[in-house]
Chains A and B, each alone.
Chain A
Amino acid sequence: MEITQTLHGNLLILNLQGRVDAHTAKDFEAGLLPPIDRGQQQILVDCSRLDYISSAGLRVLLLAARKISAAGGKLALCSMKPSIKTVFDIAGFSSIFSIFAAPPEAITELTK
């Protein structure tokens, strides 16, 4: 799994590539949590190049969502492949995360 970070004003965009499973969830956690701990308030997780996410990956997202909302910030996801969206739907995560079809809508929502 690879994570590319880009800053878009105050918004941090994390682009996930590859697979987030039990083995790579640690890397995902290492990429996602430290910015929140440093005070990052808006984060967009771009899933366009994400091929697979297991429950270990969902746990990291849940942890991040709890932290950022406790700090008054926002986290959103965008550009999921259908197989990824299915994982979110089954786990019920689609109802607790903001998920957008493409980055522009997500950016508008996160930066408003």
Chain B
Amino acid sequence: MLTKILVVDDEPDLEIMISQKFRKQVRDQEMVFTFAKSGVEALQKLQEQRDTHVVLTDINMPEMDGLTLLAKVSEQFPLVKSVIVSAYGDMSNIRTALNRGAFDFVTKPIDFTDLETTLKKTIHEAHVFQRAAQEHDQLVAIQQELEVARQIQKSIVPRKFPPFPERQDFELYAEMIPARNVGGDFYDFFLIDDARLGFVIADVSGKGVPAALFMAVSKTLLKATALKGLPPDECLKEINRILFMESVSAMFVTVFYGILHTRTGAVDYCNGGHNPPYILRAGGRIETMGTTGGLVLAAMKNTAYKAQQINLHAGDGIFLYTDGVTEAMNRNNDQFSESRLEENLTHATGASLPEVVRQVMDAVNKFTNGAAQADDITILALRYLAK
């Protein structure tokens, strides 16, 4: 790795010695030396060459001495490591230099072997230091990106419940707990017209800002297409075609889209690769909403989808979730699984929708018992009340 070293001395001795002794390293492009004749000139050079690793400086110089320079270097260029050249036995200056942030020192007359060893050690330190700083910057950038992604996700889903307070014929409730560093779940619901309620749950594969943007595009596109009143299968086919063009590095999204006909209780739905939701019958029975093997969206350019229909009666509900629920893991890598979810849903008969959702969330929490949450956990529940 190339190391850039700034040598500061008002007399020519150091420059001559370095030019001779480090000829090989310079020729092999291991080291590049720049020279300055005062502290002022040195600071100027450091300003111009921000990638300097090491400063080697004399103490006694006009304009600005080496000790003043040291203090300024530590303050303005914290990643640069300094080595001071002092008179032999000048402990007071050496002490001051070390206190002002010098990494090491060599004494006059300069012994070349000692200088070489000292520089080598300092260079190593400077590289370690700069690498750590770069990694830190990258981490900060990643964290900022994740925060942006989190904000997009948080602001995109409806959070006001009940969402349609004037409607007495159905209830809706949803909760989403985003994972710390993976995201992509969303849910949505909207009235297509007075007699049709559209509801969606989805999970984008991927993480960070790209996944969050893909999620935003998917959600907007889905709602816009759904509001045209298209049947669910045509709706998914249409948005798949568009999302496929938007997908980078094979990003895809699982989507379950249903339409509740509020006058009859009939539900038309289409499943694009999403975990099959459950029907919670008023009497306590649980049924799976059968899937027809529909492919996740944005995976293939042309995909056909099949719609299905079920009927809800007064008091029946639908429980939609993402795999963050069933694949939540405890410390033994056991998954919460469909069977635990079904067991919880069986016991939730008669509870209000927020209670049902809360009970499942609590059960997942109790099961994982503090193990890190690997994926977003999202639940959307609805209940048909008829009129």
Contacts and interface: CB of A to CB of B under 8 A. Distances in A.
A56 B206 contact: yes
A10 to B, nearest CB: 25
Interface residues of B, number: 29
A91 B296 contact: yes
A55 interface: yes
Interface string A76-110: 00000000000001111111100000000000000
B294 interface: yes
B233 interface: no
A1 interface: no
Nearest to B298: A62
A59 B276 CA distance: 20
B182 A22 contact: yes
B375 A54 contact: yes
Interface in B41-87: none
A96 B300 CA distance: 9
Contacts of A23: 374
A30 B264 CA distance: 52
Pick the most buried of B203, B206, B273, B276: most chain A CB atoms within 10 A of its CB.
B273
Q: How large is the interface on A (under 10, 10 to 19, 20 to 34, 35 or more residues)?
A: 20 to 34
Contacts of B250: 59-60, 62-63, 66
A2 interface: no
A55 B275 CA distance: 12
A80 B70 CA distance: 65
A59 B327 contact: no
Contacts of B252: 55, 58-59, 62
Interface string B228-251: 000000000000000000000111
Interface in A9-63: 19, 21-23, 52, 54-56, 58-60, 62-63
Contacts of B181: 22
B295 A22 contact: no
Nearest to A51: B333
Given A22-B182, A62-B252, A91-B296, A55 B272 contact: no
Interface of B: 181-182, 203, 205-207, 249-252, 254, 272-276, 291, 293-296, 299-300, 323, 327, 333, 335, 374-375
22 contacts: A21-B374, A22-B182, A52-B333, A54-B323, A55-B254, A56-B207, A59-B205, A59-B206, A59-B251, A89-B291, A91-B254, A91-B295, A91-B296, A92-B273, A92-B295, A92-B299, A93-B295, A93-B299, A94-B293, A96-B295, A96-B299, A96-B300
Interface of A: 19, 21-23, 52, 54-56, 58-60, 62-63, 66, 89-96
